[in-house]
Amino acid sequence: MSDTAGVDAASRRLALAMDALEVAVERRRNLDRGQTDLSDQLHALGTDRSRLASDLDVAASRIRLLETTNREVSRRLDVAIESVRGVLEANDR
């Protein structure tokens, strides 16, 4: 009987060890999934950052162009205003 008791005890220890192994494997799978999700999120953030940086560069370029155009329009308006003033002053004399 002692052999049977020893085998039963060994079987229980083996079953407990197998249960612990299953729990450890599941925990590891969950961690791996979490790391994969985090890696995917980091990749998406990097892609978004690159796109936003590119959009910002385009917007900054557009702003510079608009500022240059604005200055040119302002200069032309000043010239036109001065021309109109000159004509008005000439007619007032």
pLDDT, tens only, 9-67: 999 999 999 999 999 999 999 988 888 888 899 999 999 999 999 999 999 999 999 99
Instruction: Kindly provide the b/e burial profile for residues 46-66, where b requires at least 16 CB atoms within 10 angstroms of the residue's own CB.
Output: eeeeeeeeeeeeeeeeeeeee
Please tell me whether the overall predicted TM-score, pTM, comes out greater than 0.95 for this model.
Answer: no
Residue written as token pair 């079953």? 15
Nearest-angstrom CA–CA distance, 22 and 52: 44
Residue 1 clears pLDDT 60, i.e. is over it: no
- What pLDDT score was predicted for residue 93? 76
For 30-93, give the DSSP string. Answer: HHHHHHHHHHHHHHHHHHHHHHHHHHHHHHHHHHHHHHHHHHHHHHHHHHHHHHHHHHHHHHH-
- What pLDDT score was predicted for residue 71? 98
